[in-house]
């Protein structure tokens, strides 16, 4: 199990149960598909989203018959979107390992992602409530639209903070939000508490993605466990660049008018982002969302997992990968 959860024995044990359920349900006649998914499960993922489901359940009746399948569905959904993302982005690395599309080819990766979606619905149909099916279906739609909006915005110089926030709300924050919400709601938590957890997840997810986008400018392949500056290479302009461009459009207009960049141009853009306070302002925005997150946590009823959620949120703010 991932080192981050070793200090929380109960949560660690339940996450192992989630992984066992996932392994059981991804079995397939095509062993290439099955083995590729098992490789993903044994990768270096943080298991944040299923852990949030389990944490949310602690604010209800903590029914593992409901929380464990829900957590498995959330992680499988997340895995499916990552596999498809890597196909679209032509990514070579994910979590420090070769991506499915790089190892097996794009066609196979699409089918593997599709199969993961099928497994999600299999578990939902047999072990989840109608509420969970409805919430997950809405989430899948919102995530898909976030990805479509990102695709439509590639290499666009119409750089808007509002559009960026809307994009990451669907692309990333939605899964954080429904993870905490469903964990609580499926385990009969108070409705007000479930809504509060949903808001906490949203704010945490927004900050998480902003920090991820900052690391794309500050990190390298080894430190962030994926291809550094990959979004920029794909023409996906994130918040550090958006802020820097807004601060000094003249410095960027010429280089951003292109529809592909050399390695030298990538380094030039990164330098301009740093010079024009893009990273500094992005960090301030991330901190605003984190403050909202922590205020929401303080409003939760007293519960040992309130402290766990606070600790994990704090760790995410300070992470370097």
Is the pLDDT confidence value at 181 over 50? yes
Report the distance separating Cα 126 and Cα 24, nearest Å.
14
**Which CA distances in Å does 311 have to 247, 305, 317?**
35, 10, 10
Q: pLDDT value at position 44?
A: 60
Handedness of CA 56, 58, 64, 65 (dihedral sign): negative
For the stretch 232-283, pLDDT in tens is: 888 889 999 999 999 999 999 889 888 888 899 999 999 999 999 999 999 9
Instruction: Please provide the CATH number assigned to the domain covering 8-308.
Output: 1.10.600.10
Contacts 24+ apart (CB under 8 A), 22-31: 22/72, 22/75, 22/76, 22/119, 25/72, 25/76, 25/119, 25/122, 25/123, 26/76, 26/115, 26/116, 26/119, 28/115
For the stretch 1-11, pLDDT in tens is: 457 898 999 99
The residues that bridge with 98 in the sheet, in sequence order, are 93
**Which CA distances in Å does 146 have to 11, 111, 134, 166?**
31, 21, 19, 8
* Cα atoms found within 13 Å of the Cα of residue 212, Cβ hemisphere only: 17
**Residue 44 backbone dihedrals phi, psi, to 5 degrees:** -100, 30
**CB 43, CB 95: distance < 8 Å:** yes
Alpha carbon 257 to its chain centroid, in Å, reads 30
**Which CA distances in Å does 8 have to 32, 63, 157, 233, 309?**
34, 18, 46, 39, 11
Total Cβ atoms within 10 A of residue 176:
26
Report the length, in residues, of the chain: 321
For residues 22-38, average pLDDT: 90
**Residue 91 backbone dihedrals phi, psi, to 5 degrees:** -75, 140
Q: pLDDT value at position 178?
A: 94
Identify which of 79, 48, 73, 180 has the alpha carbon closest to the alpha carbon of residue 128.
Answer: 73
Q: pLDDT value at position 1?
A: 44
For the stretch 52-89, pLDDT in tens is: 999 999 999 999 999 999 999 999 999 999 898 888 87
> What SS3 class is residue 254?
helix
Q: Give the chain's mean pLDDT.
A: 88
Q: Residue 134: CB partners within 8 Å, gap ≥ 6?
A: none
Where along the chain do its domains lie? Answer: 8-308
Is the pLDDT confidence value at 99 over 60? yes
- Report the largest interatomic distance among the alpha carbons of the chain, rounded to a whole angstrom: 58
| Residue 32 pLDDT class (50, 70, 90 cuts) | confident
Write the burial class of residue 15 (CB in 10 Å: 0-12 exposed, 13-18 middle, 19+ buried): buried
């Amino acid at each position: 199990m991932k080192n981050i959860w070793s200090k929380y024995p109960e949560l660690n044990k339940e996450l192992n149960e989630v992984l066992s359920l996932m392994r059981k349900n991804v079995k397939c006649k095509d062993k290439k598909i099955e083995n590729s998914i098992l490789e993903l499960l044994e990768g270096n993922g943080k298991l944040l989203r299923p852990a949030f489901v389990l944490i949310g359940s602690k604010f209800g009746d903590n029914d593992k018959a409901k929380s464990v399948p829900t957590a498995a569905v959330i992680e499988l959904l997340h895995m499916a979107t990552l596999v498809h993302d890597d196909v679209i982005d032509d990514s070579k690395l994910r979590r420090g390992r070769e991506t499915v599309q790089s190892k097996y080819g794009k066609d196979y990766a699409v089918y593997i992602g599709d199969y993961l979606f099928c497994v999600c619905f299999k578990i939902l149909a047999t072990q989840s409530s109608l509420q969970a099916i409805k919430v997950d279906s809405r989430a899948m739609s919102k995530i898909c639209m976030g990805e479509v909006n990102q695709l439509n915005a590639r290499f666009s110089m119409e750089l808007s903070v509002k559009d960026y926030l809307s994009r990451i709300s669907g692309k990333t924050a939605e899964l954080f939000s429904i993870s905490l919400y469903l964990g609580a709601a499926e385990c009969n938590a108070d409705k007000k508490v479930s809504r509060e957890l949903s808001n906490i997840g949203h704010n945490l997810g927004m900050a998480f993605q902003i920090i991820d986008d900052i690391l794309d400018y500050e990190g390298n392949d080894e430190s962030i466990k994926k291809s550094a500056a990959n979004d920029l290479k794909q023409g996906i302009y994130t918040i550090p660049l958006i802020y820097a461009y807004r601060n000094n459009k003249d410095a960027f207009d010429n280089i951003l008018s292109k529809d592909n960049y050399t390695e030298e141009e990538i380094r030039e853009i990164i330098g301009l982002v740093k010079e024009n306070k893009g990273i500094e302002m992005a960090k301030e925005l991330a901190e605003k969302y984190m403050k909202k997150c922590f205020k929401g946590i303080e409003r939760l009823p007293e519960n040992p997992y309130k402290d766990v959620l606070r600790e994990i949120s704090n760790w995410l703010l300070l992470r370097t990968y």
